[in-house]
Each structure stands twice: as C-alpha cells, then as structure tokens.
Structure 1
Amino acid sequence: MSGIVLEQAIKRYGDTQVIHGVDLTVEDGEFCVFVGPSGCGKSTLLRMIAGLEETSDGTISIGPRDVTRMDPAERGVAMVFQTYALYPHMTVEENMGFGLKMNGVPKDEIKQKVSGASEILKLDQYLKRKPKALSGGQRQRVAIGRAIVRGPEVFLFDEPLSNLDAELRVEMRVEIARLHKEIGATMVYVTHDQVEAMTLADKIVVLRAGKIEQVGAPLHLYRDPDNVFVAGFIGSPAMNFLSGEIRDGMVHVDGIAPLAVPAAEGRSGKVIVGVRPQHLKLDPAGETHLVDVTEALGDVSYLYLKAADGSRLTVEAGEEDPLPEGSRAGLVLSSDRVMLFDAETEERLR
C-alpha cells in the first residue's frame, strides 16, 4: 500500500484557476475524506490524483513514484464513482472480473480474486445475478468489489453514497468503514455530507474555493476549528454565530449577560461568537427570541429561534417538553462553551 503526497497542486481551466496550490499528505493506510460545499474543488482534486484531470502545476506522488504525468492506468489507483457504471448484461461475477479479463489475467486467478472480494463484501449469493436484480446498496458493493479485485495501492471514492436512500447510506457507511479496517488500504473519499466525513475519516480535509481551510482528525476539527467556515461546516446541526464586542476584557452580546472568555483577554473590538446548539440554553423569562419552528425527534428536540434583527439560531433541547412555537425566550451562554472569531478575518481567536 502507498500514501499520497500533493505539493503545490494547481488546476486551471484556461485562465480560471480552480485548485490553488494544495499541499497535502495522506499517510499509508489512512482513510482521508475531502469535504466541502458544492463547487469547492473536492472532486476535481480527487480526479487529479486519479489522473482523470491533468495537473496544471505542482506534483502528485503515490508511494515513492511521481505520478503527476502518468496515465490513470499506471497510477495503481481504483476509483468508485457516484454512479455504479455496471454492465447490465453481465452477472455480478462477470462485472467484478471484467477489468482483469481485459488485462489478460488467467480465468482461475480472476475467479479467486472475485471470490475473495465477494466474501469481503458479502456478495457470494448474488454472483450469478445481473445488476437489475440488485438493490442500490448491492450494486454499489459490486462497484467496490470491481475496484478490490484490481488490488490497487489507493482507493478513490467520489460521493459513492449520494444516490442511495438514507437507510442504505448508513448501511454502506458501515460497510466501507469495515472494508477499510479489513484490507487496510489507503482510501480517499469525497463527500459534501459532513456526517459521512465525521463517521468514516481518520483525517478530514475541509475545502473551500479550491483551497484547504483545515486538516485534522474529525473530533479535532469539531472541537478546535480554525475559522468560522470550518466551525459552521463541521457539526450537525451547524454552530450558531452571534455578533459580539469585547469591552473591558468581557464579551458583550445583546440580550445576554457579559461573558468572561479567556480568548478575549487583552483584546477589544467586534467579534463573532460561536456556540453549538447543545450548548445554548433558553431562559423562559426572557423575550429576546421567538420560537419560530420546533422539531421534536423523540429524545431530542431542535428549536429554531428568530431574533428581532432577523438572525436565526438553533437550540438543542433534551427530553423535556420544548417551548411551543410562537413563544418567546431569552438566551443563556456559558463562557467555557463559546468560541470567538475575528469579525473581519473570521479567524479563530485563541
């Protein structure tokens, strides 16, 4: 198996630059997830690693080899796409072994490799079926099996679960996590779903507009984001942001008692105050916010609040009955549960 190193990787389409000097190391055997909003460049970056997009500048290495100018077939990678791309007239067994057959691999060896992959993916009983007789999740497993039989150095996944329904996505997340644990290969996975990123990744790469905003383990990014973008993107429901000001070493937010936050010491001026929904408490005696919408999900409820200035906040409530829609409440913040960000640069104040 092999790791991946990108050094100042750049992608241009004519005069338009979409990937801006990316430096990244994916360790051997690591599960790395590229995450970000649509148009951030995550799929383009993945396709550059695969060789499906030409790298305009910089270098890409897989293991000890510089693969920047190599053809996709020479890179030792296998890619699993959003669409399954299975041959409808072939059985599962034939689909999984087709690439090996085209490369002249002996029939006995193909059968052995297909058998090994189908055992890993629990496809043994479906080998003689054709794709139309399979569920979406089973088809995606066949597509993954087709990649496994090639014995690649690196697996690349481009939003492979986005066509599945919610229940199947959860099931396939578990399957992919188990697969990684079992074969120990280097995997790079693209998704816009930060829940997928949090549950699958050893390392998350947060991208915005073709640049890396932050790289780290899932819980590190959740607990210690570098800026407003990462703080708002990682975590579900998203972090709330309030306008505040540091005066006399205290953080002041309209309608909330002043907060003594360590990051405010020695500073003054406008700040953005970030607080996650589960750390925001309601004061039924207050009237600063309107309970606009309530989502009661059983053991947890989410209240969507609206302030007088039109800004919106999300509050997570426990098993107690949430405040009814149309009622009003104040907010209570705890100094050790908030994060401060510079109001202009949106960078974290530590």
Structure 2
Amino acid sequence: MSGLKLEQVVKRYGATQVIHGVDLTIEDGEFCVFVGPSGCGKSTLLRMVAGLEDTSDGKISIGGRDVTRLDPAERGVAMVFQTYALYPHMTVAENMGFGLKMTGHPKAEVKAKVDEAARVLKLGDYLDRKPKALSGGQRQRVAIGRAIVRGPEVFLFDEPLSNLDAELRVEMRVEIARLHQEIGATMIYVTHDQVEAMTLADKIVVLRAGRVEQVGAPLDLYNDPDNRFVAGFIGSPAMNFFDGTLHKGGLRVPGLGDVTMAAPRNAAGAVTVGLRPNHLFLAEGDSHVVELSEQLGGVSYHYLKASDGTKLIVEAHDQSAPKPGSRTGLRIDPAKAFFFNAENGLRLR
C-alpha cells in the first residue's frame, strides 16, 4: 500500500474554478475522510485522484509516483461508488473476479483472491448467488470485494452507504472500519455525513467551496476548530451560535438570556459565541421558550428560542422534558465556549 500527496491541485470547468489549490498529504495506511456540504468539491477531488476527472493544475502522487496524467487503470487505485454497479447476470464470485479475469490473470489466482476477499467480507456463503438475491448491505460488500481483489495501492469510496437504510448504514460502517483494521490499506472516503467521518477517520479533511478549511484527527477538529464553519459542521447536533457585543463589562450575549461573559483578549467589534448542545443546561427561569423536545431514551434534545429570536438546542441525559410552549432558564459552562470573529468566522483564541 502507499500514501497519497496532492500539491496545489486545481480543477476548472472552462472559466469556472471548482477546486482551489488543494495541498494534502495522506500517509500510507491512513483512513482519510473528505467531508463538507453538497457542492463543496469532495467528490470532484476524489474523482481527480481516481483519474476520472482531469487535473487542471497541480500534481497528484501515489506512493511517490506522479500519476497526474495517468489513466485510471495505471494509478493503482480502486473505487467503490454510491451505486453498487454489479452485473446482474453474474454470481458474486464472478462479479468480484471480473476485473482480474479481463486482465488475463490465471483462474487459480482469481479464485484465490476472490476467496480471500470473501473471507474478509464474510461473503463465503454467497459466492454462488446473483445480486438480486442479496440485501443492499451484501451488495455493497460485493462491490468492496471487487475492489479488494485488485490489490490497489489506494481505496477510494464515494458515499458508499448513502443508498442504505439507517440500520444497514451502521452495520456497514462497522464493516468498513473492521476492513481497514484488517488489511491496513490507505483509504479515502467521501461523505456528507459527519457522523460517518467522526467514527471512521484517522484524518478528516473539511472542504468548503473547493478549499480545505481544516485537516486533523476527528476529536482535534471537534475540540479545536479553526473557524465557525468547521465548528458548526463537526458535531451532531451542530454547535449553537450566538451574537455577542463587547462593552466595558465584557461580552453581552442576549441569546443566552442576556448574560455577560468574559471577552476573549483579542476580540474587537462583534463576536460570535459558540456552545455545543451538551454544554448547555436547562435551569430555573423564563428566558427561553421551549419549542420542541425529542426524547430518544438515553438522550433528549430540547429546542429553545431566546427572547431575541435566537434558536438553540440543549442536549440532556435524563428523561424529563419541559412542555412545548413553556418557559425555562438556561445555564452555561463559560469555560466550554468558543469565540469567533463575527465578520470572517475565524476563531478567537
């Protein structure tokens, strides 16, 4: 297996530039996840690595080898798509071994690699079945198996779980994590689901409008975001944001019940305050209106509205819930607050 390096990678469609000078290093054996909102360029970037999209400028290297202008088959990558793309008339074994068969590999070698991939993916009992006799999760495992038998340097996954129901998504997420641990391959995984990113990744790349906002380990991004965009994207439910204004007594935050907090030392002008739902607590008082409570058993989410119209979510780990339309107070842990420049969104530390 090999690592991957992108150097000032650019993608243009005519006069429109969609990827803006991306620099990124993914180490050998690392599980890297590209996340970001729809249209941020994560799938385009993945397809550029695969060779399915031309690179307008910059350099892509795999295992120290410049692959920028190579055809997809010469890059040493295998891609698993959102759709399974299985041949309906072929068995599981035939689907998995088809690529090797077409490149002239001996039958015995093809069978050995298919059997090994089936063992890793727990598909041994299904090798003689056709895709129509499989569940969605099993079909996706076959698609992954087809990639494994090729022995690529880098595995590429383009939102592979988005067609599955919630239960199968969790099951397949565990399967992919186990697969990475077992074969130790370099993997790049694209998703819009930041929960998948947090649970699978060694490294997360947060993209917005074709630019890298921040790169780091999941908990590093969660605990130490560089800007408001990353802070709001990483974490579920999303971070709450409040408008704050500086005055001589500190930072006034109407959305928190008109509390005054200590201001960050480098603050100037308007400040945005960020607090995660698990760092807010219901309390005595009437500063906020309860709009809705979701009770999920071990955790509850309370949706509140402040007098200035600010909406927020409070996470609680009990089974009591205020009634919709009632009023409640709010308690915060100021030490857990994040501060951002209200104009450019950059973190104030």
Q: TM-score range by the shorter chain?
A: over 0.9
**1-structure distance, mates of 2:288, 2:261:** 19
Partner residue, 1:64: 64
Deviations 1:53-94 (A, max 9, x none): 000000000011100000000000000000000000000000
Partner residue, 2:311: 312
CA contact (8 A) 1:115 1:124 kept: yes
With over 3 angstroms needed to count, the CA separation of the structure-2 counterparts of 1:166 and 1:316, relative to structure 1, is same
What SS does the corresponding residue of 1:97 show, helix, strand or coil?
helix
Partner residue, 1:223: 223
**Displacement of 1:266 after TM fit?**
5.1
Partner residue, 2:207: 207
Comparing 247-256 with 264-273, which one deviates more in the overlay?
Answer: 247-256
What SS does the corresponding residue of 1:288 show, helix, strand or coil?
strand
Letter in 1 for 2:316: A
Q: What are the within-5 Å matches in structure 2 for residues 264-303 of structure 1?
A: 264-265=264-265, 267-285=267-285, 287-303=286-302
**2-structure distance, mates of 1:320, 1:252:** 32
**1-structure distance, mates of 2:268, 2:131:** 63
Letter in 2 for 1:20: H
CA contact (8 A) 1:284 1:328 kept: no
Q: Equivalent of 1:258, from 250, 255, 260?
A: 260
CA contact (8 A) 1:32 1:189 kept: yes
Deviations 1:272-328 (A, max 9, x none): 00000010122332x222100110111211011122333210011221412111111
Q: Percent identity?
A: 73
What SS does the corresponding residue of 2:25 show, helix, strand or coil?
strand
Say yes or no: does 1:321 pair with 2:320: yes
With over 3 angstroms needed to count, the CA separation of the structure-2 counterparts of 1:100 and 1:266, relative to structure 1, is closer
**2-structure distance, mates of 1:84, 1:142:** 8
**Displacement of 1:268 after TM fit?**
3.7
**2-structure distance, mates of 1:61, 1:150:** 19
**Displacement of 1:258 after TM fit?**
1.8
**Displacement of 1:246 after TM fit?**
2.8
Runs of 5+ in structure 2 lacking a partner? Answer: none
Say yes or no: does 1:165 pair with 2:168: no
Letter in 2 for 1:316: E
Runs of 5+ in structure 1 lacking a partner? Answer: none
Return structure 1 stretches of 4+ with deviation > 3 angstroms. Answer: none
**2-structure distance, mates of 1:279, 1:218:** 19
**2-structure distance, mates of 1:333, 1:260:** 13
Comparing 301-310 with 187-196, which one deviates more in the overlay?
Answer: 301-310
Q: What are the within-5 Å matches in structure 2 for residues 80-119 of structure 1?
A: 80-119=80-119
Partner residue, 1:336: 335
**Displacement of 1:257 after TM fit?**
2.9
Comparing 17-26 with 328-337, which one deviates more in the overlay?
Answer: 328-337
**Displacement of 1:249 after TM fit?**
6.7
Letter in 2 for 1:228: R
**1-structure distance, mates of 2:225, 2:198:** 14
CA contact (8 A) 2:295 2:319 kept: no
Partner residue, 1:74: 74
Aligned length: 347
Partner residue, 2:154: 154
**Displacement of 1:49 after TM fit?**
0.2
**1-structure distance, mates of 2:333, 2:253:** 12
Partner residue, 2:344: 345
**2-structure distance, mates of 1:298, 1:282:** 18
**2-structure distance, mates of 1:143, 1:24:** 27
**2-structure distance, mates of 1:126, 1:201:** 29
CA contact (8 A) 1:95 1:146 kept: yes
